[in-house]
Amino acid sequence: MTPPDATPGPARANTRLPELYRTMRRIRTFEERVAELYARGLSAGSMLHLSIGEEGAAAGVAAAMRPEDSFTTHHRGHGIFLARGADPARMMAEIGGKEAGYCRGKGGSMHIADMALGHLGANAIVGGGIPHVVGAGLSYKRLGTDAISVAFFGDGAMQQGLLYESMNMAALWDLPVLFVCINNQYGMGTRIDRATRSIEFDRRAEAFGLAAAMVDGEDVEAVHRTAQALADGARGGKPGFMAISCFRFFGHGRMDKSPYRTAEEEATGRKRDPVSRARDALLSQGLNDAAALDALDAGIAREMDATIDFTAAADAPAGASMFRDVFGPGEPEPEPLQSRLDRILADA
């Protein structure tokens, strides 16, 4: 179901398409550089989850959010964080496990967080970050602010009880919360229609009393219109839910070759490209010409190339820094094991 005020039409033409395209192109290019970082052996750990093909979801929803809003993401959250204003160099450094990263290299690809940008944390546990936005939403309501909190998660979380408890509490308490399911059709290697009998996810949310909608993630303008309507409703005390359908261009993780998908499915799915669709729309509507878009794309490519150079040159965190941000202010940090061994041996 699409909220009435989100109905597309000529009178509601989205003039933000150039901005949305730029955000999506930055996400696409950043993720391509993440894959390169991995191939060059510069990433920390072996698990990287690219969001190529899902750019419309990140850009469209983020454009409906305000600076004071907060959010959580799942393990495929690079693009969402970038759409919310993250510095790609610091993000890449975090993925590379470097001190210059958002979490000083301790979070890596799947656990990036930054309170200054309202990022309450990415989470590698399926659905793990969803209840955090309920707590944030309750705080905003009690404090009388106009902020909302948004939970981004994949279709795999639609089978998690934690989501339904969270939706029930949000609806029961009229919290300023928006639940966003990015349905890329696969939970690891299991296609969504083999994981659940019904994929009408909006009806599940409506059963809890949430305003709900489903939208095609290939159309970033439709995503933005729907997200804007639901976000506005959430600010007014009507929590919302939206499921955004898209296609995951690559495997679950960077090492996954997608043997569970046929070549025909891959070819058909990759035609659902929100970046290419937005570019075509910009050209057909006369909002940009090809030369201007080529120059924009080239500038973004240079920006993202620099993130790899930055990460390669950045320092690894000192061993003792593993305790930083773990203990409360004033609490003594544990003695590093090597230091303790050296002291014991020196006294022997």
Q: What is the DSSP string of 51-96?
A: -TT-HHHHHHHHTT--TT-EEEE-SS-HHHHHHTT--HHHHHHHHT
Q: Which of 135, 81, 131 is nearest to 103 (CA)?
A: 81
Q: Is the pLDDT of residue 108 over 50?
A: yes
- Contacts of residue 161, defined as CB under 8 A and 6 or more positions apart, other chains included, come to none
Q: How far apart are CA 114 and CA 121, in angstroms?
A: 7
Q: Is the pLDDT of residue 5 over 50?
A: no
- CA 147 → CA 82, 172, 232, 281, 341, distances in Å? 20, 18, 10, 32, 50
Q: Which of 268, 34, 74, 35 is nearest to 188 (CA)?
A: 74
Tokens 């290299």 locate to: 105
Tell me the β-bridge partners of 210.
Answer: none
Confidence of residue 11 (pLDDT cuts 50, 70, 90): very low
- The per-residue pLDDT of the chain, averaged, comes to 90
Overall average pLDDT of the 182-201 stretch: 85
Q: Is the pLDDT of residue 1 over 70?
A: no
The predicted pLDDT at position 328 comes to 82
Q: Longest C-alpha distance within the chain, in Å?
A: 82
* Residue 236: burial class (beta carbons within 10 Å; 0-12, 13-18, 19+): exposed
Top-level CATH class of 4-317? alpha beta
Give pLDDT tens digits for 111-146: 999 999 999 999 989 999 999 999 999 999 999 999
Expressed in percent and rounded to 5, the helix, strand and coil fractions of the chain are 50, 10, 40
Within 13 Å and on the Cβ side, how many CA atoms surround 148? 30
CB atoms within 10 A of CB 269: 18
Overall average pLDDT of the 288-300 stretch: 96
CB 141 within 8 A of CB 149: no
The predicted pLDDT at position 46 comes to 67
Confidence of residue 154 (pLDDT cuts 50, 70, 90): very high
Give pLDDT tens digits for 40-88: 999 987 678 899 999 999 999 999 999 999 999 999 999 999 999 999 9
Confidence of residue 8 (pLDDT cuts 50, 70, 90): very low
Q: How far apart are CA 84 and CA 329, in angstroms?
A: 29
* Residue 267: burial class (beta carbons within 10 Å; 0-12, 13-18, 19+): exposed
DSSP 2-20: --GGG---GGG--TTHHHH
* Residue 208: burial class (beta carbons within 10 Å; 0-12, 13-18, 19+): buried
Main-chain phi, psi angles of 313, to 5 degrees: -85, -15
Confidence of residue 4 (pLDDT cuts 50, 70, 90): very low
Q: How far apart are CA 32 and CA 331, in angstroms?
A: 41
Amino acid at position 219, single letter? D
Q: Give me the residue spans of the domains in the chain.
A: 4-317
Q: How far apart are CA 242 and CA 213, in angstroms?
A: 5
Confidence of residue 326 (pLDDT cuts 50, 70, 90): confident
Q: How far apart are CA 150 and CA 137, in angstroms?
A: 9
Which DSSP symbol is given to 261? Answer: S
Provide the 3-class DSSP secondary structure of residue 130: helix
Confidence of residue 212 (pLDDT cuts 50, 70, 90): very high
Provide the 3-class DSSP secondary structure of residue 317: coil
CB 153 within 8 A of CB 177: no
CB 311 within 8 A of CB 92: yes
The predicted pLDDT at position 3 comes to 44
The predicted pLDDT at position 6 comes to 45
Between 6-20, 37-51, 250-264, 300-314, the lowest mean confidence (pLDDT) is in 6-20
